[in-house]
């Protein structure tokens, strides 16, 4: 038994235990720096990585935990813990087989995902899993197995209604923050849309990051249920409700690795939507040279895979292929995107028209999942709900139910980037624009990002504003501008 002392070291989600090198447990068990150990506190249990500290920081009968591990174990100053060798992980056999190119079946996926959710995998194992599934390395049967295992590993909501709708964007297109608008319209029309969203993985903002600057999103399952019962819809962070908790853990290593995986994308999207109780799901799939999906053929392949896996799991998926040749809306970054969303919902004169029309088109498709809304009636209905102010009222009610609507913050530092020469805008590199927004601090700094002034086909004079970088810290502003000035043709102008 060792006594806990809080050193207050924050390692984000990586569980670390700090022990003195002379500690009797280290000596008798043979633990050294980077050993993986099992830590028990009462009935709670985690696997952590050992870091060894000098006797000035901890006595030899003491140990400490990283802040995340401290919270997970609900530790108190002076709590007694037991530290021991962890059981060998049987699921590593299946992971190893996948790494060597063999296929993983459902029982093996269940073993792997159970160990991931229990926190038994080190970051190295998580990275190996993500790498082994990258690209097109999962076939249809494996993707169905992974989706089912991820679904089973978390909670699953049941709304006791025949039609529960949802929408999801496969991403890769900055801005394009249609979700809050679509949810408001669809809920205002009386449908049920229990929307859970993710935080950014590799983009400047996820829907949850954007929504968080407008209202609390870290609701529990019970809180989420009350919001949806009351208002017909919600926009909450999926990580807190533990629908498909494996996904949240995988995202932590996917983010720095930045690999695409078709199978993992499908499993991630569908496991979350099905766990949220959805029966009909619309997938917005933007296609463009710098979007995630780059061609009509690729959209077809991914769309087919989504539909096949959905069918195998007993839900309906429709794919809406949209224009992904340029960002949608003006803002990229949580607060900047939230401003665009509010402008559309508030029917402001200078609200971005592309974002409004995209959101209406998607809302129309979702509305038409309802048997009582005929093909072709969705779009005029969506427009009526938006223009009457019903959508804004519903959005306010949802925000209120989630904890209260707030105004997005503004960044203290901005810098405009101007056209180096005159010309017509012929291409916008979504990836590099998104990178600039991330270097400026998004999404961790919520007011940071990029405000885009250019659209394809527009003419610019030399010196006209192309985009504005927003930042909360001088170092980040400089870092983003350094990158931006080194790039050619992030926004390409041609003299026509």
Rounded to 5°, angle at Cα 55 from 51 and 57: 70
Q: What does DSSP assign to residue 135?
A: B
Task: Spot the catalytic one: 60, 218, 260, 390.
Answer: 260
Tokens 């991931």, residue located:
116
Q: Tell the smallest beta-carbon distance from residue 398 to a copy of itself (Å).
A: 30
Angstrom CA distances, 339 to 217, 225, 472, stand at: 17, 27, 17
Q: Any contact of residue 77 with a copy of itself (CB under 8 A)?
A: no
Report whether 211 contacts 376 (CB < 8 A). Answer: no
Q: Any contact of residue 18 with a copy of itself (CB under 8 A)?
A: yes
For 206-334, strand residue ranges (E) read: 233-237, 280-287, 316-323, 331-332
- Interface stretch with a copy of itself, choices 14-22, 271-279, 359-367, 396-404 (CB under 8 A): 14-22
Is the Cβ of residue 298 or residue 456 nearer to a copy of itself in the bound state?
298
CA gap 208, 224 in Å, rounded: 14
Q: Tell the smallest beta-carbon distance from residue 154 to a copy of itself (Å).
A: 24
Q: Any contact of residue 158 with a copy of itself (CB under 8 A)?
A: no
CA gap 243, 134 in Å, rounded: 23
Q: Tell the smallest beta-carbon distance from residue 395 to a copy of itself (Å).
A: 30
CA gap 221, 458 in Å, rounded: 46
- Is 136 an active-site residue? no
Is the Cβ of residue 313 or residue 481 nearer to a copy of itself in the bound state?
481
Is the Cβ of residue 220 or residue 295 nearer to a copy of itself in the bound state?
295
| Sign of the Cα pseudo-torsion (6, 443, 137, 141, in order) | positive
Which of 258, 374, 376, 485 touches a copy of itself (CB under 8 A)? 258
Tokens 């008798």, residue located:
28
- Interface stretch with a copy of itself, choices 46-54, 207-215, 295-303, 393-401 (CB under 8 A): 46-54
CA gap 427, 457 in Å, rounded: 9
Q: Beta strands 165-169 and 80-84: pairing type?
A: unpaired
Which of 445, 450, 484, 493 touches a copy of itself (CB under 8 A)? 445
Q: What does DSSP assign to residue 248?
A: H
CA neighbor of 416 nearest in space, from 488, 352, 480, 329 = 480
Q: Tell the smallest beta-carbon distance from residue 258 to a copy of itself (Å).
A: 7
Q: Any contact of residue 7 with a copy of itself (CB under 8 A)?
A: yes
413 is written with which tokens?
């530092």
Q: Any contact of residue 488 with a copy of itself (CB under 8 A)?
A: no
Q: Any contact of residue 123 with a copy of itself (CB under 8 A)?
A: yes
Report whether 242 contacts 155 (CB < 8 A). Answer: yes
Is the Cβ of residue 122 or residue 300 nearer to a copy of itself in the bound state?
122
Report whether 99 contacts 129 (CB < 8 A). Answer: no
Which of 40, 373, 473, 481 touches a copy of itself (CB under 8 A)? 473
Q: Tell the smallest beta-carbon distance from residue 214 to a copy of itself (Å).
A: 22
Q: Any contact of residue 319 with a copy of itself (CB under 8 A)?
A: no
Size of the site for a copy of itself (CB under 8 A): 60
Which residues contact a copy of itself (rule: CB under 8 A)?
7-12, 14, 18, 21, 25, 27-30, 32-34, 36, 51-54, 56-57, 66, 85, 92, 96, 99-101, 122-125, 127-128, 130-132, 134-137, 253, 256-260, 439, 441, 444-445, 472-476, 479
Residues tagged active-site: 260
């Amino acid at each position: 038994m060792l006594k806990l002392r809080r050193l207050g070291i924050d390692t984000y989600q990586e569980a670390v235990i700090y022990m003195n090198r002379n500690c009797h447990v280290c000596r008798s068990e043979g633990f050294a720096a980077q050993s993986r150990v099992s830590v028990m506190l009462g009935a709670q249990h985690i696997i952590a990585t050992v870091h060894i500290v000098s006797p000035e920081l901890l006595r030899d009968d003491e140990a400490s935990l990283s802040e995340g591990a401290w919270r997970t174990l609900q530790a108190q100053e002076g709590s007694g813990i037991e530290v021991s060798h962890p059981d060998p992980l049987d699921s590593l056999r299946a992971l190893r087989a996948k790494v060597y190119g063999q296929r993983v079946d459902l029982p093996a996926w269940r073993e792997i995902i159970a160990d991931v959710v229990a926190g038994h995998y080190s970051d190295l194992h998580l990275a190996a899993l993500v790498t082994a599934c990258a690209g097109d390395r999962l076939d249809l049967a494996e993707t169905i197995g992974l989706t089912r295992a991820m679904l089973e590993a978390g909670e699953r909501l049941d709304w006791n209604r025949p039609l529960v709708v949802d929408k999801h964007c496969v991403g890769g297109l900055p801005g394009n923050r249609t979700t809050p608008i679509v949810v408001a319209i669809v809920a205002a029309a009386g449908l049920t849309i229990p929307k859970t969203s993710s935080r950014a993985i590799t983009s400047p903002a996820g829907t949850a990051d954007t929504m968080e600057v407008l209202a609390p999103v870290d609701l529990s399952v019970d809180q989420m249920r009350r919001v949806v019962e009351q208002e017909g819809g919600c926009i909450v962070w999926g990580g807190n409700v533990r629908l498909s908790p494996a996904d949240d853990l995988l995202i932590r290593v996917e983010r720095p690795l930045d690999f695409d995986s078709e199978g993992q994308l499908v499993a991630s999207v569908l496991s979350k939507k099905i766990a949220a109780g959805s029966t009909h799901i619309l997938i917005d799939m933007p296609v463009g040279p710098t979007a995630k999906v780059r061609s009509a053929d690729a959209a077809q392949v991914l769309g087919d895979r989504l539909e096949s896996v959905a069918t195998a799991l007993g839900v309906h998926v429709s794919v809406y292929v949209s224009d992904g040749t340029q960002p949608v809306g003006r803002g990229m970054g949580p607060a900047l995107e939230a401003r665009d969303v509010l402008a559309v919902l508030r029917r402001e004169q200078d609200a971005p028209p592309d974002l409004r029309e995209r959101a209406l088109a998607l809302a129309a498709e979702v509305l038409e999942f309802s048997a009582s809304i005929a093909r072709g009636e969705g779009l005029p209905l969506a427009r009526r709900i938006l223009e009457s102010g019903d959508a804004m009222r519903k959005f306010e009610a949802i925000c209120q139910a989630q904890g209260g609507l707030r105004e997005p913050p503004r960044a203290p530092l901005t810098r405009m980037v101007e056209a180096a020469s005159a010309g017509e805008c012929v291409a916008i590199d979504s990836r590099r624009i998104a990178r600039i927004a991330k270097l400026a601090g998004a999404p961790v700094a919520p007011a940071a990002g990029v405000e885009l002034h250019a659209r394809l086909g527009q003419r610019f004079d030399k010196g006209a504003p192309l985009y504005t970088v927003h930042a909360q810290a001088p170092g980040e502003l400089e870092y983003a501008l350094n990158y931006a000035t080194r790039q050619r043709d992030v926004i390409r102008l041609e003299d026509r």
